[in-house]
Amino acid sequence: MNRFSYTRANDITSALQAHDAPAAAFLAGGTNLVDLIKEGVARPERLVDIRRLPMKAIDDNANGGLRIGALATNSAVAYDQRIQSRYPLLSKAILAGASAQIRNVATVGGNMLQRTRCHYFYDTATPCNKRDPGTGCGALNGVNRIHAILGASEHCIAVHPSDMCVALAALDADVRVSSDQGDRVIPFDDFHRLPGDTPEKDTNLRDDEIIVAVDLPAEGFAEHHAYVKVRDRASFAFALVSVALALKIDGDRIDDVRCALGGVAHKPWRNRQAEAALRGKPLEAATVRDFAASIVRDAQGRPGNAFKIELAARAIVRAFEQASGQELAASEDDPT
Ligand code: SF4
């Protein structure tokens, strides 16, 4: 572990000023950053403790939705009565992740900025373009069971590990960020990046910016939603595949649909073209299965993770079943 200085900020301005230094990092819940420091993956020279900043509240916003402070803990959000009644998809996704102990200290902003759980990223004896750009990717021809099937590049096939972010992507949340240049809003879909040839960059947050809050729109899809998470054990495991589905149903027709996938790409994965094509269609097995097939049509499997392609398609169908309360599997011999 490298030596680093520690400073505590009391407001956003002083936090940004303290962070304006080489190799500085914000410290909030620390549930990922401290691990990364201990493993030698992150080597900050200055830690700026932001836990005293006034960014923990959950309030109404001007759009008729809710504004969640970036320092609200995952538990505070998941168990907030307004979140549970108006945005149960978000509450369920958060509670599907990590453990109660971690959720009690992990923050919304930290959850969004957590790094991949790729084994090679954490093993500093192996090549990793995300950890050390230009060194190669150990996962490409290595153990890649947990890796991406959509949107990957020859430089990195890592996935984003969050559950919360998959729900926020499906809900079309906005991210409010601040810097000494002013404030700006980043649509959630644009916050995380695909790896391309710069896998070291997980997000479009600039180095001089801090996440202040997440805005939820008024529509929370409380009536018809589902969060399906498929993982190797029942708790405290990252998703092999997850699906956050938000539906509006008009009679037997799909009025609106948002479908975000986790565990399959470098960011929560949405296919807005496929969603648009589904609107107005009947809610029936063939339609939903065609939609699921279209989501994974361009997926690329590797020896360790090709199973995720069919798994993702089946998880999408399962999510539609849970959200609509209808049986949509095609036949009795189909275990979907
Ligand atoms: Fe590193 Fe990405 Fe390759 Fe994993 S998949 S070893 S994070 S470059």
Q: Which of these, 207, 222, 162, lies nearest to 188 by C-alpha position?
A: 162
**Cα–Cα dist 179/288, whole Å:** 43
Within 8 A by CB and 6+ apart from 124, the residues are 39, 40, 41, 131
pLDDT score of 319 more than 90: yes
pLDDT of the residue at 1 = 67
pLDDT of the residue at 336 = 46
Which of 118, 150, 154, 193 gets mutated to test ligand 1 (max ligand atoms within 8 A of its CB)? Answer: 118
- Residue 148 alpha carbon, nearest atom of ligand 1: 5
Centre of ligand 1 from the C-alpha of residue 178, in Å:
30
- Residue 140 alpha carbon, nearest atom of ligand 1: 3
pLDDT digits (tens, 9 = 90+) for 150-199: 999 999 999 999 999 999 999 999 999 999 999 999 999 999 999 999 99
Domains of the chain are: 5-52 (3.30.43.10), 224-324 (3.30.390.50)
Rounded to an integer, the average pLDDT of 66-86 is 98
Which residues are registered as beta bridge partners of 178?
Answer: 183, 210
**Cα–Cα dist 216/208, whole Å:** 24
**Cα–Cα dist 56/332, whole Å:** 49
pLDDT score of 310 more than 60: yes
- Residue 158 alpha carbon, nearest atom of ligand 1: 5
Centre of ligand 1 from the C-alpha of residue 153, in Å:
10
Q: In what order do the strands lie in the sheet with 174-179?
A: 58-60, 66-69, 210-216, 174-179, 182-187
- Residue 142 alpha carbon, nearest atom of ligand 1: 6
The confidence band for 331, taking pLDDT boundaries of 50, 70 and 90, is low
User: Is residue 220 lining ligand 1, measured as CB closer than 6 Å?
Assistant: no
Which tokens sit at 46? 């200055």
pLDDT digits (tens, 9 = 90+) for 89-118: 999 999 999 999 999 999 999 999 999 999
- Residue 129 alpha carbon, nearest atom of ligand 1: 8
**Cα–Cα dist 192/203, whole Å:** 4
| pLDDT > 70 in the chain, percent | 98
Alpha carbon nearest to ligand 1 atom 2, residue: 156
Distances (CA, A) of 157 to 44, 144, 241: 25, 8, 15
Side-chain-facing half-sphere of 136: CA atoms under 13 Å: 9
Centre of ligand 1 from the C-alpha of residue 149, in Å:
13
Centre of ligand 1 from the C-alpha of residue 123, in Å:
10
Which tokens sit at 216? 């939820």
Which tokens sit at 58? 């959950």
Q: Which of these, 65, 325, 57, lies nearest to 220 by C-alpha position?
A: 65
Centre of ligand 1 from the C-alpha of residue 263, in Å:
14
pLDDT of the residue at 203 = 98
Sign of the torsion angle spanned by Cα atoms 141, 147, 152, 158: negative
Do the Cβ atoms of 319 and 243 come closer than 8 Å?
yes
Centre of ligand 1 from the C-alpha of residue 133, in Å:
10
- Residue 127 alpha carbon, nearest atom of ligand 1: 6
The residue type at 282? P
Question: Residue 195 gets which letter from DSSP?
Answer: -
What's the first-to-final CA gap in the chain, in angstroms? 46
Alpha carbon nearest to ligand 1 atom 1, residue: 128
Within 8 A by CB and 6+ apart from 174, the residues are 185, 186, 187, 188, 214, 215, 217
Ramachandran class of 101: left when φ > 0, alpha when ψ lies in -120 to 50, beta otherwise: alpha
Name the E strands within 96-235. 174-179, 182-187, 210-216, 225-230
Do the Cβ atoms of 282 and 248 come closer than 8 Å?
no
pLDDT of the residue at 104 = 98
CA angle 80–68–179, rounded 5-degree value: 160
Report residue 109: phi and psi, to 5°. -65, -40
pLDDT score of 335 more than 70: no
Centre of ligand 1 from the C-alpha of residue 25, in Å:
22
User: Is residue 161 lining ligand 1, measured as CB closer than 6 Å?
Assistant: no
